[in-house]
Structure 1
Amino acid sequence: MYHFRGADQKENVVLLGPPGVGKTHLAVALGMEALREGKKVYFVNAISLVDKLKKAFSERRFEKTIGYFKSIELLIVDELGYLPLENEGAKLFFELVSEKYEKGSIVLTSNRGFAE
């Protein structure tokens, strides 16, 4: 059985590749293993996550929403870069990642390369 030490070590994983190679499947497998280990896991599509962040910001509950995501030990964000993020959404997503850094783990999947 694979042990995802990232959730314990607060490390991050980025899975890159073209559509259909199994990035989401691997991310879900990491999440399932973290759940078996008793970790709090949240899986979300990148666009849905940004929509949640934008709504929370407009409703003046962004800090509370960020606090919730910081409490998640493993946040899995699927399909980052599949659709472009506008400036506001990109800034809010960056703020979430910055706040979560070293407080929990993030798994990102994307069909884009690092340069993009």
Structure 2
Amino acid sequence: MNTPIRSTDLFRDLSAARLPTLARAWEVWTADPRHAKQGPEACLRFLLDAHLQARDHTKLEAFFRQAGLPSHFALATFEHGLRVGVDDLCMAHLRAMSWARAGQTVVITGPTLSGKTHLAAALGREAIAHGIRSTMVQAPAMLERLLDPDVSTVERKRHFKQLSRAELLIIDDFATEPAGDEETVQFRRLLDERTRRGLPLVVTSIHGPDEWDKAFAEVATREGIYARVLGGACHQVALRRRQRSNGSAHVTRVTNPARKPRKVKEAA
């Protein structure tokens, strides 16, 4: 005859196995007398839901920490409507994530205080909730790290690989600062790799696509960039400026103190 497992024993064993989320969930389950008459399937579902919620929370924390953004950005807190450039139909399409599963691109443009970063980060949060691993970076910082001579070649290659294989890559401030020939080529290489893998992309830019030429020096390479961002199935969202009182449009980014200031070439 099997000996029943005491709740305290299972809690201890789960903790010892470094499964604190399951241990806490088991403690909550056993403390509720309403669960006494429920079967093992209900208990297992309760424990599994707790585990999945904790896992998603960890992923969200990592996503926003890497992006240097506050973690409250979500589609639920993004005020949409015709006056800001995102109607209900567009929002429903973005929320459904079918575009991400199909490897398509979302281009979000608009002036300062229009909510571009908020919407992009919210899409990253939604993607994680759909089981899509997401990474968000600022274009200038991304290029700086990929080309920094003070960073080892191994580390730069590792970072490139992470960006090229992220299930969803979100690039903030795209085509905002001028990029030299080497930076333009690096951008093209990254987008080539992601296109080859059929992976989705979100970019935000203060400039519309018709103004991107100012940001990339090498003509042939930048045309390749445009083809990979705007070609195929591309969903363009043009936001309009909001009032400063709307908190959803104001972004306080947590900067990385280790990041070196961007070098600006003096005019000859």
TM-score, with length taken from structure 2? 0.40
1:74 maps to amino acid: L
Matches within 5 A, 1:39-78: 39-55=132-148, 59-61=152-154, 62-78=156-172
Task: Name structure 1 gaps, 5 residues minimum.
Answer: none
Q: Which residue of 1 aligns with 2:173?
A: 79
CA contact (8 A) 1:43 1:78 kept: yes
Matched position secondary structure for 2:96:
coil
Task: Give the Cα separation in 1 of the matches to 2:201 and 2:158.
Answer: 19
CA contact (8 A) 1:11 1:102 kept: no
1:69 maps to amino acid: L
| Higher RCO, 1 vs 2 (CA within 8 Å, ≥6 residues apart) | 1
Task: Give the Cα separation in 2 of the matches to 1:82 and 1:67.
Answer: 24
Q: Which residue of 2 aligns with 1:16?
A: 109
Q: Which residue of 2 aligns with 1:91?
A: 185
Tell me which moved more, 64-73 or 100-109.
64-73
Task: Give the Cα separation in 2 of the matches to 1:43 and 1:64.
Answer: 16
Q: Does 1:105 align with 2:194?
A: no
Task: Give the Cα separation in 2 of the matches to 1:53 and 1:78.
Answer: 16
* Cα RMSD for the two superposed structures: 1.9
Task: Give the Cα separation in 1 of the matches to 2:209 and 2:176.
Answer: 13
CA positional deviation for 1:102: 4.9
Task: Give the Cα separation in 2 of the matches to 1:60 and 1:33.
Answer: 34
CA contact (8 A) 1:10 1:102 kept: no
**Cα 1:102–1:11, aligned 2, differ >3 Å: closer, same or farther?**
farther
CA positional deviation for 1:43: 0.6
- What fraction of aligned residue pairs are identical, expressed as a percent? 30
| Structure (1 or 2) with the greater helix fraction | 2
TM-score, with length taken from structure 1? 0.87
Matched position secondary structure for 1:77:
strand
1:22-61 CA distances to partner (integer Å, 9 max, x unpaired)? 11111111100001011111011110111122138x7434
Q: Which of these two proteins has the greater Rg computed from alpha carbons? A: 2
Task: Name structure 2 gaps, 5 residues minimum.
Answer: 1-91, 212-268
1:18 maps to amino acid: P
CA positional deviation for 1:81: 2.1
**Cα 1:93–1:34, aligned 2, differ >3 Å: closer, same or farther?**
same
Instruction: Work out the number of aligned pairs and report it.
Output: 115
